[in-house]
Structure 1
Amino acid sequence: MARRLGACLVVAVALAATACAPDTGEQASTSEDTGSPYRIVQLVGQNQAGPAAINAQAAAQAAKAAVAVLNANGGILGHRVELEIIDSGGDPTTAVTKLQARLNSGQKPNMVLPGNTSAEALPMAPVITEAGIFSVQQGSANALDDPAKFPFLFKTPPIPATFAQGLLAQVKKVGAGKVAMIAGKDAFAQATVAATKEALAAAGVTLTGEETYAAEDLDMTAQLERLRSGNPDLVFMQGAGASVGYVLQSRVKIGWTDVPLVADSTSAVTSLLTKGAPDGLVGTDATKNVFVQVLAAAVGTTGGPNPDALNDMLAALKKEGTITLPLNAYFAYDSVMLAAKAAEETKTITDAKVQSEWLEKLTPSTKGRWALANYTFTTKSHGPAVDPATVAVVPASVLSDGRYAG
């Protein structure tokens, strides 16, 4: 194997990741020989501006942790796993450009982790498909689920319908017959709204009001007053970033904290709902009677669906750094573990078609090293099947090692 030159190197788990593509000193190879590594290329914007960088750093931390666990257990089919992290700056165009550059130089990856968001993953999906590379990613867009368009691409986060069923369980638990909803206007928000409305209607729960807000809105009192006029038993909030705080502060401003509010899984990731003052809102009036939608595995009183695997994951994450976000920000860990299982079961690290066909038959009874959920995929959808047991609704609490108090 030719020696790599310059500042770029493929990162084995114990080494620091770089944003550079390797040089062309090696010829493209699809060798199954155990002397060749299993190569994972991850594109994330760890150095981008703003809070999104923290999520990208969590995704990189998760991938490193998974690689460490695999290598400690003999790699994949005897192949040592190597991780190369390319910094995309969080920009979809940059991500595509850097992915194409990487695929045109050096040895072909066995797996690509395409970004940390749907906005990044969607434009990279056709490139990955054309190159015939296996991929399990953590974007949430429904468009990524289509095996007809992206036959080698799978995803790990629960689909909106799963979270909708989790919300419905909470609605039934508190005996709420009427629900109001406030959400953002972006595509993901509206997908969440659509799934939630469908679940509520099917259960015979009345939707008393539906409001939206723009990212630049700093005061939501008008929207909340309109919702309150419908006298709902529960409020569902979809949100992200600072908007979550503006909704909750407006709720306090109009004195409407007596009605329970359930924040969606995106809201739950923000530090506002995972930290106490002054960095967050937990323990203040803003989180009075506030609950969050989370992964069941992220609740400290449970062991999740795969307790032993979860313990391995937590230990490996801590070796890579502090666990700063809820565990659903670390789905890249399960992505790598699903890819490893597909390779091991099909006895190949290079045939994306065969690996994909095996993963389409995956059921919750299949055991592997994934920790955050059980997975079922089909020939019609490469998004996880609806599984309400994957999610939970718990009171907002200070996060500890990625988990809620429950």
Structure 2
Amino acid sequence: MRRVVIALATATALAVTAACGSSSGDGGPGSGGDPLRLLLLAPTSAPALANNATNEINAAKAAVATVNRNGGVLGRPIELDVQDEANSATTAVTKLNAALTSTSKPAVLIQADSSPITSAVLPLTKQKKVTTFNFAQTADSGDPSKNPYSFDLAASTSSIGSAFCAEMKAKNIKTFAIIRNDTPFANGETDEVTKHCQAEGITSVGAEKFAVSSLDVTPQLSSLQAKNPEVLVFFAYGAPAGYVLQGVNRLAWNVPLLGDGAVIASPVVTTPPPTGMLGTPMETNLRAMAYASTAYSPGQPQPVSDLIAGMKAAGGIPAPLTVAYAYDAVILAAAAAAAAGTTTDGAKIAAAVEKLPPGGPKTAIFSSYRFSSASHAANPDPSQFTFIKPTAVVDGQFGNPAAS
């Protein structure tokens, strides 16, 4: 077991912790009670996901350092335990169960992997009443009636659909088509973009999908080209994003392209030749969705600056900040534990997460999470997104002039 314990500093407590007095059920600040224990499951040994996993680990370490440097939670440190689940649902459940039956049971789980991992761990965290933050949602991971201790940090398909349609409406687009890899999340994105755009009078003229293992998507693209959409929307991550760009180029199809956050996070999109396509004609017409926090700005909010500095100190930023949700997870967990007056009761911490005021905890990836008793989805509004030209990634951000 690999444990990261960041020592409790003596600095002034964070506002969220100072708000809780010594009447806590766990004892007051300095009472020597249990730390706030967090378990982070990440696929560090899965080659395709190792950089993303390292990003999340360093983001979590950065947040733990920030909280502990400012007094911890109820006067106690956060203790972070990182476990490799190798992108295996079985391994994830096994390691989670071992942690929950140990003498240092975590009150909070942060899991940084795909939706199959989310599906696998949620029954156990529900049974054991462990507050859970997910980076890849499922159909019901953000539904408090089914998973009362579970919270989604990534943008929901509904939020993404709303942002895409706001962008198309701003550009006076009337018709579009969609191509995506055949995954539950991409299929959900397709449904939501279609629904939101229809409500705005923007029409889908067709949608095609392809297997993640496909090496050529030209036939699907040719079918969509024949329908003459004004914009081609596509959802894909990694090599499949490159296959879409190659197919459009092969067809000599001069169509504006709008990609999702997976597209802009794909190394093939943000890396120049010979390993990637950055700066080539294949990306001339491409703009892709990014979180506003991941697009460089000289006057960016302090939490984003803190995140970047903290990740550098923790070991680096090997992937875009799009996969640095763990920072926000730790900040939200700390604020909720302080508000609930406990570092050990996962059910009480989850109830407090639900009641956190939007924009109260100083999170970085999204400046505001809008959880409620009706929804445990992140629910960011369209202002939290931006559509940008692909660029190299510097310090986890796109558009940094240091890249040129």
Could you tell me the TM-score, scaled by structure 2's length?
A: 0.89
The residue that corresponds to 2:179 in the other structure is: 182
The residue that corresponds to 1:25 in the other structure is: none
SS of 1:47's partner is coil
User: AA paired with 2:142?
Assistant: D
The residue that corresponds to 2:19 in the other structure is: none
SS of 2:86's partner is coil
RMSD: 1.8
Contact 1:161 1:386 (8 Å CA) reproduced? no
**Corresponding residue to 1:230 among 219, 227, 230:** 227
**Corresponding residue to 1:327 among 300, 316, 321:** 321
Measured after TM superposition, the shift of residue 106 of structure 1 is: 2.2
Measured after TM superposition, the shift of residue 369 of structure 1 is: 2.5
Mapped partners of 1:298, 1:142: distance in 2:
26
The residue that corresponds to 1:384 in the other structure is: 378
2:342 aligned with 1:353: no
The residue that corresponds to 1:393 in the other structure is: 387
Contact 1:268 1:294 (8 Å CA) reproduced? yes
SS of 1:193's partner is helix
User: AA paired with 2:360?
Assistant: K
Mapped partners of 1:389, 1:338: distance in 2:
21
Mapped partners of 2:132, 2:177: distance in 1:
38
The residue that corresponds to 1:299 in the other structure is: 295
Measured after TM superposition, the shift of residue 107 of structure 1 is: 1.8
**Corresponding residue to 1:147 among 144, 151, 163:** 144
**Corresponding residue to 1:275 among 271, 276, 290:** 271
Contact 1:298 1:402 (8 Å CA) reproduced? yes
Could you tell me the TM-score, scaled by structure 1's length?
A: 0.89
User: AA paired with 2:279?
Assistant: G
User: AA paired with 1:263?
Assistant: G
Tell which has more relative contact order, 1 or 2 (C-alpha 8 A, sep 6+).
2
User: AA paired with 2:141?
Assistant: L
The residue that corresponds to 2:356 in the other structure is: 362
Mapped partners of 1:405, 1:392: distance in 2:
12
Instruction: Give CA deviations for 1:276-323 in whole Å, capped at 9, x if unaligned.
Output: 22232110112111011110111113756xx11111111101112232
Mapped partners of 1:393, 1:363: distance in 2:
28
The residue that corresponds to 1:371 in the other structure is: 364
The 1:73–1:387 alpha-carbon spacing in structure 2 relative to 1, beyond 3 Å, is: same
The 1:9–1:92 alpha-carbon spacing in structure 2 relative to 1, beyond 3 Å, is: closer
Contact 1:162 1:391 (8 Å CA) reproduced? no
The equivalences for 1:103-252 within 5 A come to 103-252=100-249
Measured after TM superposition, the shift of residue 370 of structure 1 is: 1.0
Contact 1:166 1:393 (8 Å CA) reproduced? no
The residue that corresponds to 1:64 in the other structure is: 61
Instruction: Give CA deviations for 1:128-153 in whole Å, capped at 9, x if unaligned.
Output: 12112222221222321121222111
Contact 1:41 1:84 (8 Å CA) reproduced? yes
Contact 1:137 1:332 (8 Å CA) reproduced? no
Mapped partners of 1:182, 1:140: distance in 2:
21
Measured after TM superposition, the shift of residue 199 of structure 1 is: 1.0
Q: % of aligned pairs identical? A: 31
Measured after TM superposition, the shift of residue 230 of structure 1 is: 1.3
Q: Could you tell me which runs of 5 or more consecutive residues in structure 1 were left unpaired when the two chains were aligned.
A: 1-7, 15-29
SS of 1:383's partner is coil
User: AA paired with 1:346?
Assistant: A
User: How many aligned residue pairs are there?
Assistant: 379
User: AA paired with 1:12?
Assistant: V
The residue that corresponds to 1:315 in the other structure is: 309
Contact 1:34 1:77 (8 Å CA) reproduced? no
SS of 1:294's partner is strand
Mapped partners of 2:289, 2:222: distance in 1:
24
Mapped partners of 1:271, 1:194: distance in 2:
26
The residue that corresponds to 1:26 in the other structure is: none
User: AA paired with 1:372?
Assistant: I
The residue that corresponds to 2:331 in the other structure is: 337
The residue that corresponds to 1:11 in the other structure is: 4
The residue that corresponds to 1:34 in the other structure is: 32
Mapped partners of 1:34, 1:203: distance in 2:
56
The residue that corresponds to 1:289 in the other structure is: 285
Measured after TM superposition, the shift of residue 87 of structure 1 is: 1.0
**Corresponding residue to 1:102 among 99, 115, 122:** 99
SS of 1:276's partner is coil
Measured after TM superposition, the shift of residue 9 of structure 1 is: 5.7
